[in-house]
Structure 1
Amino acid sequence: MEFHQLRYFVAAAEELSMSRAAEREHVSQPALSRQVKLLEEELGVPLFDRIKKRIHLTDAGKFFLLKARQLLCDSEISTQQVRERFGGKRRPLRLGSLSPFLDDLIAPAVREFQQRHTNSKVSIFDLPPRAQLDRLRLNELDLGILANLEEREREIFDVRTLSRHKFVAVLPASHRLAHRKSLKLAELKEENYVSLSNTFFPKRREFLMECCAKAGFIPKITAEMDSLPMMLAEIGTGGGVGIMPEHAGKLPHSGCALVSLTSPTIHSELLLVLAKAPQSMELQSLIALIEEGAARL
């Protein structure tokens, strides 16, 4: 098992497309598919179901995705720590983020930071909120970008609100209401719901329950996923309906329709989270650039 195989698998799992994963990793599609196949052969189980030229994670794939992400992140952090401690290298700032905000919030802020601080670097980690919080506690991240925190987490960390984001209903494209421009959440009270897992997204189940309670019903949650791309894939293949930030529509969502919600109007806060500790000038500069970018979103 090699690290490039893990990277290719994670890319394919998040994109749910070998061709998009190959484009993201800057390799040919046959080369990426071959390495994923070799990884499956070494593990002795299929990680993907391949149906009509589309791929879906198997239960083994869903389980291994978390492990693969952890291995890749641990490898990068360990390399940085060795270089800093024994090689005299300056440690980069370590920034955790969520996928939907990488291109229009994080990437511009980091580019501007690198232009202003040519001797400093930023390492970006695409991690779910729970993993970000765990690594912030271990001082393996300098700051994180996430949403929905438990009260005890707010007491531990320095938490700042970056922006508020409107939620939309996400339906299978074949759903009877998919053609609508807007709908009330109560119109979906009889549906099966797909949620993000509390294991990876703190308080997400409770958030969904509270939103539906305001609309006068208790949702029937039949599936919980560990990432937004997997949630979109589950809905797109008929696994149920869900709600998520409108910003998530930038992610690949084949088979899904995003419909505005009029009642109740649902928002969530995007948060910047860091340790309660003195901040370097570089970290202060990066925080300011992220806050400026969020204000423009």
Structure 2
Amino acid sequence: MDRPELPLPQLHAFVVLAEELHFGHAAARLGIAQPPLSQQIARLETKVGHPLFSRAPGRVALTPVGRELLPAARRALAELADGLAAARAVGDGRAGRLRIGFSASLALTVLPELLRAFQERFPGVELDIREMTTAPQLAALHERTIDIGLLREPPAAEEGSLGFRTVLTEPFVAVLPAAHPLAAQRTVRVEQLADSPFVLLPREVGPQLYDRIAGLCGAAGFAPRIVQHAVEWQTVCALVGTGLGVSLAPASIRRIRLRGVAFRAVEPAAARTRVAVAWRRDDPNPLVAHLLATISQDRAADDGHPSPPTAPTAQPR
């Protein structure tokens, strides 16, 4: 059986009349004349198939049918009001869902404070946080399965559909077995690692970072002899701790506390790795703009200089 359509203006008129029980007062409250109100109620009664009000000179009362309909009509109007408020909140960027991809090592640096600051400013937003290496993040952005990426070493060449902005840079450190001779030094020159086997991330999960590390070794006059790959930096460090080899890693990796692993500063000290935020330039989601603005504001606070909010279409720095 098909359900009758009940236009919202008729439901609204019905609820107001049920509360006022006076056509003149209800019409004034609705901001309409009394005849249009009577027509709205008559149309609704036709749809229901029964009178909703009993009418007598000087007296209007709900019929049993009207009393039965009134709670459902109020719920329908309240749900619509709630739905409209929720839709406006999403449109204004005060609510909704933001899908963020992040490289695991960023949980040791910018990610916790960024998420904390964003949630303080936008408590009604649901965050969907997904741990992903750089290459899968870029693919997910193109496939529109995430909205924001936080990654290491973004592509060197600009991608027209994606925007990138540097969030921070950090130096590299040497990751050594605690018993390694170089662990006795405070600083390790990259060329001193030439004779040691390496444990590194596979190139396919982060091509730019892999090439950055290989480039540091190349500049020091050798190609790293890789004996083992691991997808996560924590696994890399654990394998180094077994004595399997050494590695070069972002300095934040020092926060991974593993027995048998030593972290040492690297020369040249100017060698740094870049962390960037990535987004789709054509993304209309206001939450993307809000997250970019949060990053800009937090960086400005660190620098002591104000920075204006940045829209998703802004040029990357």
Compute the TM-score of the two structures, normalised by the length of structure 2: 0.60
Higher mean alpha-carbon deviation, 172-181 vs 216-225, is at 216-225
Aligned to 2:226: 221
| Selected match of 1:277 from 246, 264, 282 | 282
Conserved? CA contact 1:173–1:236, under 8 Å: yes
Query: Structure 1: which amino acid aligns with 2:280?
Result: A
| Selected match of 2:117 from 89, 112, 125 | 112
Against the structure 1 CA distance between its residues 278 and 134, is the aligned structure 2 distance closer, same or farther, given a 3 Å change threshold? closer
Conserved? CA contact 1:195–1:231, under 8 Å: yes
Conserved? CA contact 2:161–2:282, under 8 Å: no
Aligned to 1:203: 208
What is the alpha-carbon distance in structure 1 between the residues aligned to residue 112 and residue 130 of structure 2?
A: 12
Conserved? CA contact 2:202–2:230, under 8 Å: yes
What is the alpha-carbon distance in structure 1 between the residues aligned to residue 265 and residue 137 of structure 2?
A: 30
Aligned to 1:39: none
Aligned to 1:268: 273
| Selected match of 1:100 from 81, 105, 113 | 105
Structure-to-structure mapping, 1:74-153, within 5 angstroms: 91-102=96-107, 104-151=109-156
What is the alpha-carbon distance in structure 2 between the residues aligned to residue 198 and residue 173 of structure 1?
A: 26
Aligned to 1:240: 245
Q: Which structure 1 segments of 5+ residues have no match?
A: 1-87
Task: Report how far residue 140 of structure 1 moved.
Answer: 0.9
What is the alpha-carbon distance in structure 2 between the residues aligned to residue 206 and residue 118 of structure 1?
A: 39
- Which runs of at least 4 in structure 1 moved beyond 6 Å after TM superposition? none
Against the structure 1 CA distance between its residues 101 and 209, is the aligned structure 2 distance closer, same or farther, given a 3 Å change threshold? closer
Query: Structure 2: which amino acid aligns with 1:96?
Result: G
Size of the aligned set, in residue pairs, is 210
Task: Report how far residue 156 of structure 1 moved.
Answer: 4.1
Against the structure 1 CA distance between its residues 99 and 181, is the aligned structure 2 distance closer, same or farther, given a 3 Å change threshold? same
Query: Structure 1: which amino acid aligns with 2:240?
Result: I
Against the structure 1 CA distance between its residues 103 and 285, is the aligned structure 2 distance closer, same or farther, given a 3 Å change threshold? farther
Conserved? CA contact 1:170–1:243, under 8 Å: yes
What is the alpha-carbon distance in structure 2 between the residues aligned to residue 248 and residue 153 of structure 1?
A: 28
Instruction: String of CA shifts for 1:105-144, please: whole Å, max 9, x gaps.
Output: 2223223322322322211112111221221111111111
What's the secondary structure of 2:140's corresponding residue?
A: helix
Aligned to 2:236: 231
Higher mean alpha-carbon deviation, 225-234 vs 279-288, is at 279-288
What is the alpha-carbon distance in structure 1 between the residues aligned to residue 213 and residue 126 of structure 2?
A: 38
Conserved? CA contact 1:146–1:270, under 8 Å: yes
What is the alpha-carbon distance in structure 2 between the residues aligned to residue 234 and residue 126 of structure 1?
A: 21
Larger radius of gyration: 2
Against the structure 1 CA distance between its residues 291 and 126, is the aligned structure 2 distance closer, same or farther, given a 3 Å change threshold? farther
What is the alpha-carbon distance in structure 1 between the residues aligned to residue 296 and residue 255 of structure 2?
A: 21
Conserved? CA contact 1:184–1:264, under 8 Å: no
RMSD: 2.4
Aligned to 1:30: none
Percent identity between matched residues is 24
What is the alpha-carbon distance in structure 1 between the residues aligned to residue 292 and residue 271 of structure 2?
A: 27
Aligned to 1:287: 292
Aligned to 2:72: none
What is the alpha-carbon distance in structure 2 between the residues aligned to residue 92 and residue 147 of structure 1?
A: 24
